Amino acid sequence: MERSCQETGVRELFLDLEMLRERAGIILRIRSFFESKNYLELDTPLLSPDLIPESCLEVFETTRLFPPGSARKNQKLYLVPSPEIWMKKIIAKHAVNIFQICKCFRNGESSGHLHNPEFTMLEYYTMNAGYLDSLELTEGLFAFLAEGGNISPPFERITVADAFGRWAGFDLFQAAEKEGALEEEAKRLGLQPPPGIGKEALYDLIFIHAVEPQLKSDRPVVLLDYPAFVSCLAKQKGKTVERWELYYNGIELANCFSEETDPAVVKSFFYSEAEKKEKSCLVKHNADFDYWKIFDREEKPFPRCSGVALGIDRLIMALVGRSNIDSVLPFAF
C-alpha cells in the first residue's frame, strides 16, 4: 500500500531540473578542486559502533540484527554526525591529505530553514598544516566555486575576543576569569541564564544572542581563536585554541581546527565529553575509550594536521542565493 509523503514525514519538493543540475555541478566542482590538489577521496561507513562523544549533539541509533540461531548478539550502531571518527583512523595509518563528501545525521534539531536531520558534509584534512593553512585552502575553494560572486574571498577575519568586545561590550577573557562575571554580563544584555550553568554554557548563551546575529554580512566572515574553555579537539595556544568558524549572512558554513594530536589530551576529552553527554543527551551512545591510542604510536606518531567540516547544503544555499535549506534538497524531512 502506498503512503503519502505527509504520512511518512518526507516533504517531497520536486526540485526543478535546473536546481538539481546546479547542485550536482557544485558537488562535481568541489571534487575537482580537491583532486587537482592530490587529495585522496574517502568513502567511509555511515554506521559506526561508537562515536566521538560530543555533548552538544543528539545522534540516531539503530540495531544490527543477526539471524536466529546466530552466535553473534544484536549490535547497537549509530549514524555518524561526522565522518571524523573514521577519517582520523586513515590519517593515523597513512598520513595523506584526504577529503570526503558524505551524508551525516544529527537528531533533535528543528527541521527547515537551516537544519535537516540528514545533510551532506564535506570534510577535509591537510597534513603538516595548521588552521590558518586550512583557511587559505578554503578561500581557494570558494574562489574556485564562486567565480567572483558574493561569497568570493578574501574573507573578513575577526577574533572571538574582538567580536565579544565589539558586539557584547565586554572583555571575554577577563570576565571568564572572574567568578560570576559572565553571568552578570549575560544579565546586562537582557538574558536570563538558568541558575548554576557553567562557563561554557554562559559563553554559548551570550554568543548566540549578542554576537552571532551581528554576523549577517553579505561577505563571508571568519571567527578566529576560540576560548580554550569551550571544549573541542583543537590545539591550544594560551587562552585560545586554533579554531575558526566561517559565517555567511549569519549562517555557519564551516568549522576548522588545528587538530589535537596529544594522546593524553584526546583521552581526557573523550572521558569528559562522555560524562557530559551521559547527563545531557537523550540518546546515549558508545564511545571508543581506546581511540586515543591511534595518537600514541611510537613507530608512527599521528601527524600534525588541520581539518575542516563544511555543510554542502548550506554552501549551495549561499552559492545560488537561497535562504531555506529545503529549497536545495531533493527531499527533506
**Res 4: pLDDT:** 42
Measured between alpha carbons, how far is 42 from 28 in angstroms, rounded to an integer? 15
Q: How many CA atoms are closer than 13 Å to the CA of 83, on its beta-carbon side?
A: 27
Is pTM beyond 0.85 here?
A: yes
286 or 39, which is more confident?
39
Query: How crowded is residue 36: how many other Cβ atoms within 10 Å of its Cβ?
Result: 9
Mean of pLDDT over the chain: 91
Question: Is residue 120 helix, strand or coil?
Answer: strand
pLDDT in tens, 28-50: 999 999 999 999 999 999 999 99
**Res 27: pLDDT:** 98
pLDDT in tens, 158-178: 999 999 999 999 999 999 999
**Res 288: pLDDT:** 85
Q: Which residues sit opposite 75 in a β-bridge?
A: 64
Give 285's pLDDT tier (boundaries 50, 70, 90). confident
